[in-house]
Amino acid sequence: MEEKKASRRTERSGLANVLVTLRTQLTFLVSSFRKGDGRTRLSYVFMGFSNLARGQVAKGIYYLVCELLFVAYMVTSGARSVAGLRTLGTQTQHIEAIPGQVPKLIPGDNSMLMLLYGVAAILLVVWFIATYFWNVSSAVRAQEFQQQGKPLPNFRTEAREYLDAKFHATLLFLPVTGVLLFTVLPLLFMILIAFTNYDSSHQPPGSLFHWTGLYSFKGLFSNSGVLGGTFWPVLGWTLTWAVVATVSNYVLGMLLAILINKKGIKFKGFFRTVFVLSIAIPQFVSLLIMRNMLDDFGPINGVLQQWGLVSKFVPFLTNATFARLSVLVVNLWVGIPYSMLITSGILISIPKELYEAAMIDGASPFSMYTKIILPFVLFVTAPYLITQFIGNINNFNVIYLLTGGGPNSLTYYQAGKTDLLVTWLYKLTVNTRDYSYASAIGICVFIISGVLSLIAYRNTKSYKNEETFQ
């Protein structure tokens, strides 16, 4: 009870933290200006001036160059980019036909580029504001050093700091830049697109798209209409699939681990390697093989017919119910070895006394499994289980490579009976370019995974007492 309250308090502080930090930064800005001498105050306008004037040339030039570059950028294109975010374009391209001349294409705005450049501009503005704050605090520090009569750290000592006390900044610079450029910027862009009408009938530059608020979400969640008529069944199947796939893989994988680790079984290494093969082979190879094996005219149907077990082919991947069963079964082939590896390690760590005590009490192997092994392993692997569940919600490969989401349904919009939300998202992106709906679906998947992860991570000990654990 006490613990729960504590964790709730830290949750609430997320947004509050940001606000508090902002306020302290602003008060710092004001109070430093009051206390600052002329050179420090000048740094508020000419960044790096305080450092330059006090002999920290490299640092001063760095801030000054940052400012100049930023101003140049804002004047040439940045300001226009930010302003463009408001309208996302007003001029559609059109063909001007003057009698007697070849018709000319007059280029118009491109909403997509305007949005992309706008988001990039905002990220740059945020970066500049941060640099500005660093500039002020550096100016103040230079002043303080001078007032106390201490020598100012020169470029070399400060650079050396980045290999020691500030080593984390050196280490994180490249990765964070990469993530900003290839994850954060694209994600922000796509999240914003969910609130526009960037769909198949609004494709720039031919036509523009605009802000439409929650329109895409309303379309998806509506009970009438073909979009809602696709979203709810696909969501239902996604959740069913995730539950069944996770539980079946987990339980059967554990049984396999018990079997391999059973006392008296030889060639453990060999058996394990055979199953690990299915992890080692790239999924696009193994799953494409499976798809062809399960084809209506593939080898499995061929053999079944040859043996006279069926008279007509079994529609493994072409009938909705069969296809759903097939993907679940094939997913066992992919997933069991994985959970076998995970649970193997845990099984070995079960205290031997537990088994022995149960044995003396005359417990059957079945009750040993349900009463001892399962609870123990469940306890240890609960976070893993939730990660797997989220992984299955996002299990693109198995569905896309096996059935491609099919068999297609006439009542669905661009989706088939085995489509998960993510594969539907992919199809909407690639096939029909309904980006706004695809993004809205992405946000829904995010919310589902987010809620589940919160439950998973907040309740694990390693998250709560990270320091004590180390």
- Site for other proteins, residues 140 to 179, rule: CB under 8 A: 160, 163-165, 167-168, 170-172, 174-176, 178-179
Task: Give the whole-angstrom CA distance, residue 28 versus residue 36.
Answer: 11
Per CB under 8 A, does 310 bind other proteins? no
- Residue 182 interacting with other proteins (CB under 8 A): yes
- Contacting other proteins (CB under 8 A), which of 153, 233, 298, 406? 298
Write the interaction track for other proteins spanning residues 47-76; mark x where CB under 8 A is met and - where it is not: ------------------------------
Q: Which is nearer to other proteins, 43 or 331 (CB)?
A: 331
Chosen residue from 302, 310, 351, 357 binding other proteins by CB under 8 A = 302
Residue placing its CB nearer to other proteins in the complex, 64 or 373: 373
142 vs 194, beta carbon nearer other proteins: 194
| Site membership for other proteins, residue 366 (CB under 8 A) | no
Among 376, 382, 407, 464, binds other proteins (CB under 8 A): 382
Query: Which listed residue (275, 316, 389, 413) binds other proteins by CB under 8 A?
Result: 275
Task: Give, as ranges, the residues between 67 and 126 that touch other proteins (CB under 8 A).
Answer: 112-113, 116
Q: Counting contacts by CB under 8 A, is residue 2 touching other proteins?
A: no
How many C-beta atoms surround the C-beta of residue 225 within 10 A? Answer: 14
Min CB(466)–other proteins separation in Å? 8
Q: Is 429 an interacting residue with respect to other proteins (CB under 8 A)? A: yes
Does the protein bind other proteins through residue 25 (CB under 8 A)?
no
> Which range in 34-42, 207-215, 237-245, 445-453 contacts other proteins by CB under 8 A?
445-453
Residue 333 touching other proteins (CB under 8 A): yes
